[in-house]
Amino acid sequence: MGTLAPPARLCCGRRKDFTLSQGKDAPAGQSEEPSERGHWSRKTDYLLSMVSSAVGLGSIWRFPYLTYQNGGGVGIMMVIITTLVTVYYNVIIAYALYYLFASFQSVLPWSDCFAWADENCSTTPVVSDCNTTLPNGIVIHTNYSYVTSNNLTCLNGSLTYKQVQLPSEQYWK
CA–CA separation, 47 and 50 (whole Å): 5
Number of independent structural domains in the chain: 1
CB atoms under 10 Å from CB of 110, counted, come to 19
Confidence of residue 44 (pLDDT cuts 50, 70, 90): confident
Contact predicate 151/129, CB 8 Å: no
Residue type, 38: G
Given this model, what pLDDT does residue 64 score?
72
Instruction: Flag whether the pTM goes above 0.85.
Output: no
Has residue 165 been placed in a domain?
A: yes
Given this model, what pLDDT does residue 94 score?
96
CA distances from 146 to 40, 68, 134 (A): 91, 75, 11
Residue 149: domain span: 126-171
Q: 94 labelled as ligand-binding? A: no
Has residue 152 been placed in a domain?
A: yes
Has residue 61 been placed in a domain?
A: no
Has residue 140 been placed in a domain?
A: yes
Has residue 133 been placed in a domain?
A: yes
Confidence of residue 72 (pLDDT cuts 50, 70, 90): low
> Is a pLDDT exceeding 80 seen at residue 165?
yes
DSSP per-residue string spanning the chain: --EEPPPPB-TTSPBPPP-EE-SSPPPTT--SS-S-----SSHHHHHHHHHHHHS-HHHHHHHHHHHHHTTSHHHHHHHHHHHHHHHHHHHHHHHHHHHHHHTTSSS-TTSS--TT--TTB-SS-EEEEEEEE-TTS-EEEEEHHHHHHTT--BPTT--EEEP-B-HHHHHT-
Given this model, what pLDDT does residue 84 score?
95
Has residue 164 been placed in a domain?
A: yes
Q: What is the pLDDT of residues 73-131, one digit of tens each?
A: 766 787 889 899 999 999 999 999 998 998 898 888 888 888 888 888 888 877 888 88
Has residue 92 been placed in a domain?
A: no
Has residue 139 been placed in a domain?
A: yes
Lowest pLDDT segment from 9-23, 36-50, 63-77, 104-118: 9-23
Computed over every residue of the chain, the mean pLDDT equals 78
Percentage, residues of the chain above pLDDT 90:
9
Q: 28 labelled as ligand-binding? A: no
DSSP per-residue string spanning 109-152: TTSS--TT--TTB-SS-EEEEEEEE-TTS-EEEEEHHHHHHTT-
Given this model, what pLDDT does residue 60 score?
65
Most confident of 2-11, 30-39, 63-72, 73-82: 73-82
> Is a pLDDT exceeding 80 seen at residue 65?
no
